[in-house]
Amino acid sequence: MPAPDAHFSLEVRGSDGWLKLTGDHPAGVQVGDLALSSSVEFTAPDSPVATGTGSTAAEIWAGASINVGEVYASLARDIANGTHHTPGFGHAVHNSRLIARVEQASRTGLRQ
């Protein structure tokens, strides 16, 4: 697909509104910045602190390391502040179970 046509959009609609995640990096959602929007007000996530740029980064990969950089930056903040905000195994378990429930609801038509 030509780079100008590389668009990502994930939209979830529910009885109380919608939530949308979008991006347009030609290498996909794991590389580029994503934008979160919703039909209801929410507190926007923190702005990224990692740039993913450096002397060895090609222009198209300017954001390639941003996900890893963000995790490390969040971990550093947690260590410095004695907090536990960085996603870990518990978040992964929660998200896996949530996805499984959504899949089951789509098959059965029942919410749990």
| pLDDT single digits (tens) 34-83 | 788 999 998 877 665 545 555 444 555 555 556 677 778 888 999 999 99
User: Looking at residue 66, what is its pLDDT?
Assistant: 63
| pLDDT single digits (tens) 88-103 | 888 889 989 999 999 9
Q: Is the pTM of this model over 0.75?
A: no
Closest-CA residue to 48 (of 26, 66, 68): 66
Residue type, 32: G
The residue ranking higher by pLDDT, 48 or 6, is 6
Percent helix / strand / coil, the chain, rounded to 5: 40, 15, 45
Q: Is the pLDDT of residue 1 over 60?
A: yes
Q: What angle do CA 26, 32, 35 make, to 5 degrees?
A: 115
User: Looking at residue 79, what is its pLDDT?
Assistant: 94
